[in-house]
Every structure is written in structure tokens, then in C-alpha cells.
Structure 1
């Protein structure tokens, strides 16, 4: 007969299982309704309110770009709310695809800042979300064109499958020190390529992206969670990192490889 575990032990085991599964990254899976655009439309989205907030509350500290959540005024919280209202009142499918990319990245990052501000002070975004949730990424974040969206929807069902660009992981920010930095400039159709390249260069050359200590190479857990977006094996991933990283190439590394990520809040 199978021995029954005490309730406390069973609950503890369940929590450990949930904790281990929390890091299982969502797959890229297209939400077909968003894969449409109007390439003849020359109109652009207005991201000036988001730029205002970035200019006022982003600071640099070493390898990190930090958001000063605690200093955000009530007036600027209203600016963020208005920006999100204005942005989500528009249907991005009526715009060019290049405009859409900037729309979704800025929306994701602005929504993440709002999630933190709504619950601040907190130590980590992972403390948010429902009971036994690891973060707020599966919670409803907004509504666009009548469709309810989560942060995971935006990243994994829209951005990743439509654009199929590994640099997306350097552009969307999860409000954590281990994450690629929140860009100091709002994305637009015109600056997307330069911002993506700059973000990739910055992250791969930072210690939180890749660092060598003797015979051990420590990579960001992003390359473990989303390795499929960077290459079909570890050496291919290292080759992709080398595209932007200065110094000695990582491809061909034969020592130990480990992964790390700092979920501490990206605040000063």
C-alpha cells in the first residue's frame, strides 16, 4: 500500500513543484488575429508621454538602467495612465508592421511599470500575481481592439511569433536587475533597428548577460529559457551572443556553463 504523506509535507512538495515549473518559459505561439497590418497607412503612434516618463525616472548605475518608482509623482502616474489609454484605444492592425512593433514593445514596458507602481513598494515583480503565481505575466494587463491581453500574450503570442527576432528579449523589460535594461528611448518605427542592436550589445557585454570566471561561463537565464530563439544548441547560442559581444568569442567554449538571473526590482 502506498504510504500517504502528511498534509504539510504534501503541500510543501506541491509548492516545490510549482516553484520549479515557474521558470518554464512560454513557447512562441502565434495569435493569428494580430498578424495583420495596413502597410499603406503612413500614420504613426505618439509615444511622447512614455518618453517623458523615461526621461524623468530612468537613471544609470553601473551596468543597470534603473526606474525610480518611488519618485513618480501623482501627476506622472496620470500621464502613464493616459498614455496607456490613448495607445490601447487604437487598433495596431490598422498601422504598418514597423509601427506595430514599436507599439507592442512600448506597451509591454509601460504596462510593466504600471504593474509595479500599482503595488509599490515591492522587492520583486515575482511577488505579484495570484496565489501560487510566479509574477503577474498571466494576469489580464489591458484590452486592445476588444481583446483581453496579458503580458505573456504580448511577448509570446504577438511579438515573438510575428517578428521572429531574438533581439525582442533585449527589448521587453521585466522590471528586474537580471533583465536587459529598459531602453532610455521609446521605440518608434524609425529607431527600432538601432535600439535593438544597442540593447543586444549592451546586454551581451554586461556581466548579467555573460561573464567568465576561470573555467566557468555564467550566462543569463534568458539564454536557457528562450534558447530556441537564439540557436538550436548551446554552441549556436554562444555564436549568436558573439555577434554583439566584444572581446574573446564564446563559441567553442569547453568549460562549465551555468545560468543565473537576478529578480530584484530594477530600482535605485
Structure 2
């Protein structure tokens, strides 16, 4: 292979990697998880996850919640594993819809924390390249848990269960990807009872933080979440802006009244750790 051919191959590989890294999976329903029991009275216990969050999630003065990964003890890890194992053993398809939503959100977030802990210290969750595929990035495609005899990845939970079943853009504020640019990992679990307040509070907090949306010199810049998942927020700039206006306060609300397009987006992939590796 001559030099020009090698350069061409490298450029093709780089272009493909860039496209894949910037692309977001589409919501594609895994239909077996549609099953639920509207009459179910089962109420899940998320106390173990609450204890972990209370001890290790630290709200920052900058409005970003960080996780003290370096302070997690062996006993904490054992408790986290026990919580995930307990969820995985549950007959989730026999739950009510409300309990299912809390189940999947908490399982996603607990799995994300565990996968970071298994590879800590890392500068970014994208450095945990355990997903299958040559161009795979991060841990999202790796099968991490088995529920009702089905192996599941983080991508499965978010894009094949949560997004297509609930069709609620606020899901993006509930699941945490362990990055500074991500909506906060809340210091409490989601439950069927608190779900609406959980989602509303998370949406308002993220949108009114500069990493969610901000006006710069009259231009609107937003989190890349609104680009990657634009379809979930109305499908175009107008839909995203309408969503932002629902939750915006103060100067952001005033600024949004005068914009009709999004000027750009960005995202901070650095790990949401209290201590930089």
C-alpha cells in the first residue's frame, strides 16, 4: 500500500469515526418491554441507591453535580452491586408503567456509575471503550446487565425502552452519562411517586444552566443534546426553542423571546468527578 493509499484509508476511517461519534441512536422500540400491568400494586424499594447518591453526589457551586468516585469504598461498591442485582432479578414487565419508568431510569444511572467505578480513574466516560465494534466509543453498547433473561446495554435502556415507550423529552434530563455537560445526576432516586417533580426539576435546572442553553451576543447556544436528539424536541430549531421557553427563567426567558434559530451547540465530555484524574 503506497503513501497516498494509506492517507486515503486513514481519512476515510477518521471521517467514519467522526460521523459515528457525533451521531445519536434513534428511538427504536424493543417490543417485548412494552408489556406492563396497569393494575400492579408493586412498589419498588430504591433505598440502597438513595443512600449511595446521598453519600457520593456533591452539588457544586457552579450548578453541576459531581460524584466522589474516589471516595467509594469496597462496602459501597458491594451495596451498589447488590442494588443492581436486585433490580435485575425483578419481573419488570409485570410492573405498572410508573414503576417501570423509575426502574429503568435508576438502573441506567446505577449501571453508569458502576461502569465508571470499574475503570476509574478516567478523564472521560468516552475513554471506557468497551462497546463492540471497531469504531465504538464509550461503554454504551456493551451488554452490562441481564433482566428477564435479556442482555441489556445502556443504549438498549435509553433508546429501545425509555425513549420509545414514554416519548417524553424530559427523559434526557433523567438519565446521566457521567459527564460535566450532561444533566445532573440527582442526589435522589426516581420513584413512581416523585417522577413528575423529578423530571420537571431536572429539566428546569439543566435548561437554566449555561451548559443547557445560553444567549451570547444575541445568539442562542445550546447543549449538543438538543442537536443529537432534535427529533425528541420537536424536530427542528423551532421545536427546541419552544421546549426551552417552557422552562426558561429570568434573562434566558427574555433572551429566548427574541431568537428564532440556534446558532451553535457544545458539550463537555469531561468526567463528572469531584477530583480530576
3-state SS, counterpart of residue 49 of structure 2: helix
8 Å CA contact 1:129, 1:139 repeated in 2: no
What is the aligned partner in structure 2 of residue 27 from structure 1?
26
What is the aligned partner in structure 2 of residue 6 from structure 1?
5
What is the aligned partner in structure 1 of residue 72 from structure 2?
72
8 Å CA contact 2:124, 2:271 repeated in 1: yes
8 Å CA contact 2:219, 2:259 repeated in 1: no
Cα offset, 1:59, TM superposition:
0.4
8 Å CA contact 2:178, 2:271 repeated in 1: yes
Deviations 1:108-136 (A, max 9, x none): 00000000000000000011124532111
For 1:123-162, list aligned pairs within 5 A.
Answer: 123-130=123-130, 131-162=134-165
Unaligned runs of 5+ in 1: none
Deviation beyond 4 Å, 4+ runs, structure 1: none
Provide the TM-score with structure 2 as the length reference. Answer: 0.92
3-state SS, counterpart of residue 4 of structure 2: coil
For 1:74-113, list aligned pairs within 5 A.
Answer: 74-113=74-113
Cα offset, 1:9, TM superposition:
4.9
Provide the TM-score with structure 1 as the length reference. Answer: 0.95
What is the aligned partner in structure 2 of residue 174 from structure 1?
177
Between the aligned partners of 1:82 and 1:251, the Cα distance in structure 2 is 48
2:266 pairs with 1:260: yes
3-state SS, counterpart of residue 168 of structure 2: coil
Between the aligned partners of 1:146 and 1:237, the Cα distance in structure 2 is 38
Cα offset, 1:249, TM superposition:
5.2
Cα offset, 1:16, TM superposition:
3.5
8 Å CA contact 2:207, 2:213 repeated in 1: yes
8 Å CA contact 1:219, 1:259 repeated in 2: yes
Higher alpha-carbon deviation: 70-79 or 244-253 = 244-253
8 Å CA contact 2:237, 2:260 repeated in 1: no
Between the aligned partners of 1:169 and 1:222, the Cα distance in structure 2 is 8
Between the aligned partners of 1:20 and 1:31, the Cα distance in structure 2 is 25
